Amino acid sequence: MLAEAIKYAAARLLGQGDPHGHLAQQVALWARHRRRRAAWEPHLSRCRALTLAAAKACPPEARRTALVMGSGLLLEVPLEELSALFQRVVLADMAFVPEVRARAARQGNVELRETDLTGCLDRLSGGLPRPLPDALAQLGAGLPGLDFAYSANLLSQLPLFALGKAVRLEAAAALVRQHLDGLKALGVPACLVTDVAERGLRQGLVEYEADLLFGVDPGLSGETWTWSMAPDGEAVRGLDVERTVLGVADVRNV
């Protein structure tokens, strides 16, 4: 807890705002990763390998700008490799901890965009704005030479901050659809990693199962794997919590 408080305070002291709680969530993620490093590694390396293979499929003449959405702590992002492959890499998230800022700066061609990828977190008053803003189109329009996009395990997270503001479940599904549609509409190869379901197991028997995409079927084919997210009762007493993750090399190929 102390290490988390220090980490959070350091980011705030260096000017990182936290209007909707994303920084706090990243710090919690950092702490859990520290505790569960070994259990997480198969999932993290699989994300990085999938993304790298998808990025390498871009022809050499189409390696100008790569966009990473939900870059977070860069655990699921092969940053150095993307930086070597593309002229420019843009990381988009609501918050950046100092270590991520420093790692990005070391590459020399990585830019940070502090942005709300739903486009509506500041405009929720009991419901979503209608029509929903086209947040990804706006972001993409500001990135000339965009040749590759990676949605880095943020899809299931997008509605959570909005749900905290009394947005209903149908609205959560709308935010999931907004992101999937926005990815497809970017018009470039777009790699997607997302957790889709969570299970709690007691001695190997499923005690609960939850749909993390609020009833939305992404309708995409790709690889799936299990992420041992919170084993040994770490998140829920007595349960091993695991997630099913979907990885899609390019959402435009159904």
Calculate the CA dihedral of residues 67, 97, 76, 121 and round it to 10 degrees.
-60
**Which of 226, 238 has the CB closer to ligand SAM?**
226
Give the separation between CA 227 and CA 243, rounded to whole angstroms. 5
Cis, bond preceding 78 (omega within 30 deg of 0)? no
Instruction: Using alpha carbons, list the distances in angstroms from residue 83 to 48, 80, 88, 165, 188.
Output: 13, 5, 7, 37, 18
Shortest distance, position 205 Cβ to ligand SAM, whole Å: 27
Which of 158, 172, 246, 248 is close enough to bind ligand SAM by CB under 6 A?
A: 158
Centre a 10 Å sphere on the Cβ of residue 209 and count the other Cβ atoms it contains. Answer: 11
Region of 140-148, 152-160, 213-221, 238-246 interacting with ligand SAM (CB under 6 A)? 152-160
The distance from CA 190 to its chain's CA centroid, rounded to whole angstroms, is 13
Interface mask (CB under 6 A) for ligand SAM, residues 23-62, using x and -?
---x--x---------------------------------
Residues 87-126 that bind ligand SAM (CB under 6 A): 93-95, 116-118, 121
Which of 128, 154, 172, 216 is close enough to bind ligand SAM by CB under 6 A?
A: 154
Shortest distance, position 195 Cβ to ligand SAM, whole Å: 8
Q: Please, which residues have CB within 8 angstroms of residue 113's CB and are 6 or more apart in sequence?
A: 90, 91, 92, 93, 139
Contact between 251 and ligand SAM by CB under 6 A: the answer reads no
**Which of 220, 229 has the CB closer to ligand SAM?**
229
How many residues touch ligand SAM under the rule CB under 6 A: the total is 24
Give the separation between CA 82 and CA 73, rounded to whole angstroms. 15
Report residue 136: phi and psi, to 5°.
-70, -35
Shortest distance, position 253 Cβ to ligand SAM, whole Å: 22
Which of 8, 11, 22, 58 is close enough to bind ligand SAM by CB under 6 A?
A: 22
Binding site for ligand SAM (CB under 6 A): 22, 26, 29, 70-77, 93-95, 116-118, 121, 152-154, 157-158, 161
